[in-house]
A and B are shown apart, each in its own frame.
Chain A
Amino acid sequence: MYIPSKPFTCLDGSLTIPYEFVNDDYCDCKDGTDEPGTSACPNGRFFCENKGYVGSLIPSHFVGDGVCDCCDGSDEYETKTVCNNTCFELAQKTQAEREAQRVLHEAGVAKKKEIISKSIAIKSERQTHIDELERDLQSVENELKEKEELKRQAEIPENQAKEKHQKLWDEQRAVRETIIRNYQIRDMFADLDTNGDSLVSIDELQKHTELDLDNENEFTIEEVRTILGSDSVTLDEFNTTVFDQISNSYKRLPKPTTPIPEPTLDSIATPSSSVETSTDEKNMESHDETPIATSLEHEKHIHDDTPPEFDDETKQLIAIADQTRTEFDQVQGKVLDIKRQIEDLKKQVNIDVGVQGEYSAFIDQCFDYEEREYTYRVCMFKDAKQIPKGGGGDVAIGFWDAWTGPIENKYLRMKYVNGATCWNGPARSLTVTFRCGIEHKIIDVREPSRCEYAMIFETPSACDEKMAVTSSHSTHTEF
């Protein structure tokens, strides 16, 4: 390429120049190839011979800048800068480092192999376990079917007895309500019928202005007649046409001369008394002057009622049915439990733990890293947390997402995402980078960007068989 006395053509073919222009400290070629020995071209490459070490190409802008970049100092050949030749020391150092790495990887790979073989065993154990559980599941599901049938059978007589009981109770309640209504009607009628002619007339009702529902002006005769349907009504007519219209608004008129006694509702307070007194008119009349509570109070009394206890026969049927239900629930719980176990195991089996299962030892494992202010905890394939040492709640910095290493080494990194959101920032996330080590150990946790955490993790799982081998030929030949 660089042949004296012959014109030089730039390696990209863009220009041919006299040979004197090569390395004359002026950049002619666009690709920088005419100045391999000077800094003239911004994109040139300078070759450091580096005898005793590895020869290397450096950017030509490192040439002649007063910084020794080649270990043989050849990049500063033209400057006043004095460069010591460090190639021998560098070679030794590199060799030592390489050996240390090799030893490390060798030890690591041994452990890694253990993990892998264990992984195979664990994996088959898990599969066996799953198979067992699936068999169990089948038999328990059969049992469940039986229990369900028993339950169904016990619930039939139980329901019948309960329905009967309910029906009886509904009837009793209907009777009681009728009695109360009759009582109210009679009482109200008596109250309205101020002249005692057994008729409620327009002028008698007109005194009850509270019934003037439009509230516009006065309670006119016409309005009263609309309520009564005629000029006067008998008790029966009152019952059928008037009572329902007025019962909600109706108020007893004050009787200034007679002091109002305390209301005594004992007679209708309980269903039993009301049932008993249903035919006792005298008893009722004795309460003639007693003010009647508003309809709301009546309803309250009615609805306060609780049904009576079941009879013994029904109780027994319920007890039998309860027993079958409990047994059914127990078996159903067993089914769910087995299903969950199977699911968990399948999840574990499905976790991507490396090509050979080298990361299988991480399953269900958590690791801590103690720092000045926080403990960082990563639970593998699950989540990562930041736990403040000075108290205060844990902060989720991410949940398991995926392996995110480069294509050629996918298992170099893993990522946890969607942690707690930062103010003015993203949701927290963690990237774990693995490197070879003898133990599983977090080496460092940082937050290079706000809320984006980076963890370095040493593990035998990341050790490389190729690195564990004694240096190959290619590196040796260069010494």
Chain B
Amino acid sequence: MSRFFHLLNLIFILYILNIPPSENVDRNNFKTCEQSAFCRRQRKYKPDISPYEVDLRSMKTIQSGHLQFILHNTLKSPIKFQLDIFTLEHNSLRVKINERNPIRKRYEVEHALVGEPKLVDVKLTNLDGKQVEGSFGKSAKFLLNAKPFRLDLFTNGIFVMSVNSKNMFNFEHYRTKPGTNESTGENNTEDNEDGMWEETFKTHQDSKPYGPSSIGVDVNFLNFENVYGIPEHADAFSLRSTHDTDPYRLFNLDIFEYDIQNPMALYGSVPYMLAHNEHATVGFFWLNAAEGWIDVNNDKLTVQGFFSTIASFFSTKPTADKNEVPQVSTHWMFESGIFDGFFFLGPTPRDIFKQYSVITGSVPLPPLWAIAYHQCRWNYNDEDDVRSVLNGFEKNVIPLDVIWLDIEHTHGKRYFTWDTQKFPNPEKLQDDIARYGRKLVTISDPHIKKDDAYQVYADAKALGYFVKTKDGADYEGSCWPGASMWLDYFNPDIFQWYSQRYSLENYKGSTGNLFIWNDMNEPSVFNGPEVTFPKDIIHYGGWEDRDVHNLYGMLQHMSTFQGLFNRSNGHIRPFILTRSFFAGSQRTAAVWTGDNAAQWSYLKIATPMLLSLSVTGFGFSGADVGGFFSNPDAKLLVRWYQAAAFQPFYREHAHIDTARREPWLFGPDNTRLIRKAIEQRYNYLPYWYTLFYKQEKQGIPPMLPLWANFPKDKNVFKTEDLFMVGNGLLVCPITEADTNQVSIYFPGENTIWYDTRTLIQYNGSETVLINVDMESIPVFQQGGVIIPKRLRRRRSSMLALHDPITLVVALDRNHEAKGELYMDDGYTYDYKHKRQMIYRRFIFRNNELHSKTLDFTGKFETDAWIERILIFGYPKNPKKVIINSGDKQAIPLHHYHAESQMLTIRRPGPLVASDWTLTIT
């Protein structure tokens, strides 16, 4: 929901001059690498030989799994660095490099990790004075080369990653400013490069009191051709080479009307990259919250010289004539902090998801309603407006779980307040909404209006809770309410205090049915440099924003989460949506892709953007349905509803200047199509909910790239126009206006895919032209997967909680299939603390379908039962179907449709919670 003050002024001017505004972002408001001094310095750093050397004699074993070395820069002998290597559980390695005796402590990121990673033993060999080799875990190995410093990584004996093999490791130690009394006088010219001690961008000056402090390093993925991740960018899923563009930037910013297909920074930052090929999936995560830039290059590695000694480790033999293997070389540059790299060695996609989630946490199971349909708009104007929209859903028989209120619901953008003229009785409104199991979400942004009569401001001001300027005054900027200040969540007291604003007594007019949306938390500062905080403002602990910038939004929503958690004494699962995020944000908030636009190209880019988020831990993410800016036509809106029904976070949202676009405003036929799309989401909710539970447990996101399920199928490594939901559904969003046909490649060998619309079967490894009409987008169920659905219509997900289940069994070539179903009360933590849950496995084999529990401790009580079983790909009409549950037996009716090979079993009847076996003869 970005809206940008300069823009408002501009809009006014344009309005007067009657000039149409330009369609896209004003790039001049945001830095290029060339305009960011440290990026400029680091990007050109390319020595022939790295001056960094490891003193292997300095090796110390701090504890089992933790080795320590001294690292030198041979060109600057007095400067010593400390190299720590930690061998971690789950095939993971952590490497830290920091100054040994810095003149100022360097920032190490807090809040992002789940906890202290667990160490595992390392077996050291090959101590010949030149290299150290360490083996750990199942199949992981590192090789530390001393002169020059280089770190090679292996998984299952395959050489996968190499650090500093391109000599770009470059660590700017803290130094005294040349010309000051304390300066030693040496290296004066080198220490006084342009932009080291101050930098000006547009009218904003960055005072840089501590001088240069950046770190650059090359991390190279050997024998890989595709890398992914490092969100958030509106760009391809398989990252493009930045040879001819700026590097991908990581710096949380509010970009007004962002462009697509470019490496500009957006609202959130996750410095985590994955690489995948048919042999392995690996990952590199640099825990750093400063401004970052990452160059990506697809090049070739010549297997000669020192590499020839380890050439045998390559999974594929270099071609005899060329001695070359492909590689993706990446160059990472951060403005400050330390090098704190995590190397995840897979080797499978599932392993990678697990490994990263062990370090930064996984998305906790959201409340059921949060993964259903959300209706939002800037703004639903008042109580009557909200009620009339809810009535619209009733009248048009469209299910809905959540309605949202944007900034205009507050008293002059004072969060935690209401515009009492428009919302005189918010509690009553929430009670009415809750009657059908629905919820209200209100917005709460981090800017605090500067107004002594506003309690939140007055209290925070008195307590000294605002972020400070470099001179120690309260930092003041402008945002929606005008002059504003920002809380310093880095201070644990302030974090706590802010969380308490969400208590029912402090947040007047809120009820237990109200949840929160944190927007503008990059933070957006309309008059700040690049529309955010100046880098030299000071946070708790004396850290500059330069050191911690990308954490700010996460700390806000973590505190919000804490507030909602405490509101119910830890009984009810909170729901928070955040625009800004960092690695670890996934533990407490869902994210969305910010202010997109009502254009087909933005519908199309949503898939790669959400895939990038999914593989880097953000399994609960979505894009505004219809596009935030401007007005979608009916076709685009329908296609968006159809695509987003299969993406994790499903919310319609629109800018205040757009025309109303509630689902029933586009004529009866489009209303029917939108209803159908939303109902499809509700039909699949038992499947989604099960996938979200698996995500909490295993870190596997619900929305997946095809390679996650078909890691050996080289044809899908770049696929971004199709995606999967779990391993059961292959989804093809339609992202062009008049599409009658799409060409679809079905992944995997010997797989079968059932068109969920027609039950036509397609074979894996084949490309097929599929006909498309407006009724729905193509969605295919994979043979071998059983999907639980609810086919009954309800007004909201919570009203369907105990409704019966339909099992859709899609048989593979061996006439087998399996699947899971997870159920609980949909909103409390009782599933964790009181085992109030059901987790079942269904297996179809040898003409028998078994339901078994996957968790014997689960004891959620529900009268939900199996009302229908559909078996796709069943070869013939059976004679008889028998179901046994305990000592009971029944013979349900069945119906066979020969043309589509579908067997329907009518009313098999067992309770979902029970064990049973269905036998077909």
- Interface positions of A (Cβ within 8 A of B): 24-26, 39-40, 42-43, 59, 61-62, 65-67, 372, 422-426, 446-450, 452
- A422 touching B795 by the CB < 8 A rule? no
- From residue A417, how far is it (CB to closest CB) to chain B in Å? 15
Are A26 and B793 neighbours in the complex by a CB distance under 8 Å? Answer: no
Q: Could you show 8 A-B contacts with beta carbons less than 8 Å apart?
A: A39-B794, A59-B397, A61-B793, A61-B794, A65-B799, A67-B436, A67-B795, A423-B657
Return chain B residues, CB-CB under 8 Å to A26: 867-868, 906-907
| Contact status B381-A61, CB under 8 Å | no
B792 touches A39 (CB 8 A): yes
B657 touches A450 (CB 8 A): yes
**Chain A hits for B804, CB < 8 A:** 25
Interface residues of B in 424-460 (CB under 8 A from A): 435-437
Tell me whether B21 and A424 are in contact (CB under 8 A). Answer: yes
Interface: B462 (CB within 8 A): no
With both chains docked as a complex, state the minimum distance between the C-beta of B680 and any C-beta of chain A, in angstroms.
12
Taking A67-B436, A446-B385, A450-B658 as contacts, is the C-beta distance between A24 and B11 under 8 angstroms?
no
Q: Does B95 contact A (CB under 8 A)?
A: no
Question: Out of A61, A447, A450, which one reaches B792, CB within 8 Å?
Answer: A61
Minimum distance in angstroms from A41 CB to a CB of chain B:
8
Q: Is B897 an interface residue (CB 8 A)?
A: no
Q: Is the interface of A mostly helix, strand, loop or mixed?
A: loop
Beta-carbon contact of B381 and A447 below 8 Å? yes
Given contacts A26-B867, A423-B657, A424-B21, contact A42 B907 (CB under 8 A): no
B676 to chain A, nearest CB (A): 11
What is the bound-complex CA distance between A25 and B630, given in angstroms? 46
Min CB–CB distance B803 → chain A (angstroms): 7
Cβ distance A155 to chain B, nearest Cβ, rounded Å: 50
Q: Which 6 A-B pairs have the closest CB atoms?
A: A42-B793, A65-B799, A61-B793, A449-B660, A423-B15, A26-B907
Q: What is the distance, in angstroms, from A27's C-beta to the closest C-beta of chain B? A: 8
- Min C-beta distance of A291 to chain B, whole Å: 57
- In the complex, whether B750 has a CB less than 8 A from a CB of chain A is no
A61 with B867, Cβ < 8 A, contacts A372-B421, A450-B657 known: no
Candidate in A65, A446, A452 with the most chain B CB atoms within 10 angstroms: A65
Would you call A25 and B381 a contact (CB within 8 A)?
A: no
In the docked arrangement, what's the CA distance between A422 and B800, Å?
43
Closest beta carbon of chain B to A450's beta carbon, Å: 5
Interface: B303 (CB within 8 A): no
| Assembly CA distance A42 to B907 (angstroms) | 16
The answer to whether A423 and B907 have CB atoms under 8 Å apart is no
Tell me which residues from 180 to 218 in chain B have a Cβ below 8 Å from any Cβ of chain A.
Answer: none
Cβ-based interface call for B659 (8 A): yes
Q: Which residues of A contact B660 (CB under 8 A)?
A: 448-449, 452
A sample of 16 more A-B contacts (CB under 8 A), given A26-B906, A42-B792, A65-B795, is A25-B804, A25-B907, A26-B868, A39-B792, A39-B794, A39-B803, A61-B792, A65-B800, A67-B795, A372-B421, A424-B630, A424-B657, A446-B381, A448-B385, A449-B658, A449-B659
Chain B residues with CB below 8 A from A59, complex form: 397, 793
890-914 of chain B: CB within 8 A of chain A: 906-907
Instruction: Tell me if B791 is interfacial: C-beta within 8 Å of chain A.
Output: yes
The 8 A CB mask of B779-823 against A (1 = contact, 0 = none) is: 000000000000111110001100110000000000000000000
Residues from chain A with Cβ under 8 Å of B800 in the complex: 65
Residues of A within 8 Å of B867, CB to CB, are: 25-26, 40
Least CB separation from B20: chain A residue: A424
Complex alpha-carbon distance, A131 and B906, angstroms: 83
Whether B656 pairs with A450 at a CB distance below 8 angstroms is yes
A67 near B435 with CB under 8 A, answer yes
Q: CA–CA, A372 to B421, complex, Å?
A: 9
- B 320-357 to A, binary, CB cutoff 8 A, 1 in contact else 0: 00000000000000000000000000000000000000
Interface residues on B, range: 20 to 34
Contact A61 B795 (CB under 8 A): yes
Considering only residues 369-411 of chain B, those with a C-beta below 8 Å from chain A are 381-382, 385, 397
| Cα distance A62–B436 in the bound complex, in angstroms | 10
**Contact partner, B657, options A43, A422, A446, Cβ 8 Å:** A422
Cα–Cα, bound, A59→B795 (Å)? 11
Q: A42-B792, A59-B397 are known contacts. Are A67 and B799 too (CB-CB below 8 A)? A: yes
Chain B contacts to A: CB under 8 angstroms: 11, 14-15, 21, 381-382, 385, 397, 421, 435-437, 630, 656-660, 791-795, 799-800, 803-804, 867-868, 906-907
Give Cα A443–Cα B200 distance, bound, in whole angstroms.
55
- Contact check, A448 vs B658: say whether CB atoms are below 8 A apart: no
**Bound Cα distance from A40 to B803, whole angstroms:** 9
Q: Which residues of chain B are within 8 angstroms of A24 by Cβ–Cβ distance?
A: 907
Residues of A within 8 A of B658 (CB): 449-450
B799 touching A66 by the CB < 8 A rule?
yes
- Across the interface, name the chain B residue whose C-beta is closest to A65: B799
Which of A39, A66, A423, A448 is B381 in contact with, Cβ under 8 Å?
Answer: A448
Chain A neighbourhood of B868, CB < 8 A: 26
Looking at the assembled complex, report how far the CB atom of B628 sits from the nearest CB atom of chain A, in whole angstroms. 13
The answer to whether B435 touches A450 (Cβ under 8 A) is no
- Tell whether, in the assembled complex, residue B799 and residue A423 are in contact, meaning their CB atoms are under 8 Å apart: no
| Cα A445 to Cα B574 with chains together (Å) | 37
B contact residues around A425 at 8 Å (CB): 657, 659
Bound-state Cα–Cα, A213 to B385, Å: 85
Of the residues A42, A66, A67, A450, contact of B659 by C-beta under 8 Å: A450
Instruction: State A40–B659 Cα separation when bound (angstroms).
Output: 37
B253 CB to nearest chain A CB (Å):
23
Contacts of B421 in A (CB 8 A): 372
Bound together, the chains give a CA A61 to CA B435 distance in angstroms of 15
Q: How many Å lie between the Cα of A356 and that of B345 in the bound state?
A: 85
Contacts of A426 in B (CB 8 A): 659
Distance A335 CA – B437 CA, assembled complex (angstroms)? 73
Please name all residues of chain A whose beta carbon is closer than 8 Å to the beta carbon of B656 when the two chains form the complex. Answer: 450
Minimum C-beta distance from B597 to chain A (A): 12
Question: In the complex, what's the smallest C-beta–C-beta distance from B489 to chain A, in angstroms?
Answer: 34
Which residues of chain A are near B795, meaning CB under 8 Å?
A: 61-62, 65, 67
B657 touches A65 (CB 8 A): no
Contacts of A40 in B (CB 8 A): 792, 867
- Report the separation of the CA atoms of residues A448 and B907 in the bound assembly, to the nearest whole angstrom: 47
The complex places the Cα of A26 from the Cα of B804 at a distance, in Å, of: 10
A65 to B799 Cα, complex, angstroms: 5
Q: Inside 8 A of B381's CB, which chain A residues have their CB?
A: 446-448
CB distance from B373 to the nearest CB of A (A): 16
Chain B residues with CB under 8 A of A449? 658-660
Assembly CA distance A424 to B868 (angstroms): 51
| B377 nearest CB neighbor, chain A only | A449
CB neighbours of A39 from chain B (8 A): 792-794, 803
A26 to B806: give the CA distance in the assembly, Å.
11
Closest to A444 in B: B384
Q: Which residues of A contact B792 (CB under 8 A)?
A: 39-40, 42, 61
Assembly CA distance A62 to B660 (angstroms): 28
Chain A residue at minimum C-beta to C-beta distance from B399: A61
CA distance A197 to B21 in the complex (A): 81
Residue of A nearest to B792 (CB): A39
Q: How far is the CB of B420 from chain A (nearest CB, A)?
A: 11
Contacts of A448 in B (CB 8 A): 381, 385, 660
Q: In the complex, what residue of chain A is closest to B380 when comparing beta carbons?
A: A448
- Min distance, Cβ B632 to any Cβ of chain A, angstroms: 14
From residue B865, how far is it (CB to closest CB) to chain A in Å?
Answer: 9
Q: Which residues of B contact A66 (CB under 8 A)?
A: 437, 799
For the complex, what is the distance from the CA of A43 to the CA of B630, rounded to whole Å? 35
Among residues of B, the one whose C-beta sits closest to the C-beta of A451 is B657
Q: How many whole Å from A28's CB to the nearest CB in chain B?
A: 8
The CA-CA distance from A117 to B14 in the complex, in Å, is 52
The distance in angstroms between the C-alpha atoms of A448 and B386, with both chains bound, is 11
Shortest Cβ distance from A83 into chain B, in angstroms?
Answer: 13
State in angstroms the CA–CA spacing of A156 and B799 once bound together. Answer: 97
Expressed in whole angstroms, the Cα–Cα distance for A424 and B598 within the complex equals: 13
Q: Closest B residue to A450 by CB, please name it.
A: B657
Taken together as a complex, chains A and B put the C-alpha atoms of A423 and B657 apart, in Å, by 8
B791 proximity list for chain A (CB < 8 A)? 42
Residue of A whose beta carbon sits closest to that of B388: A448
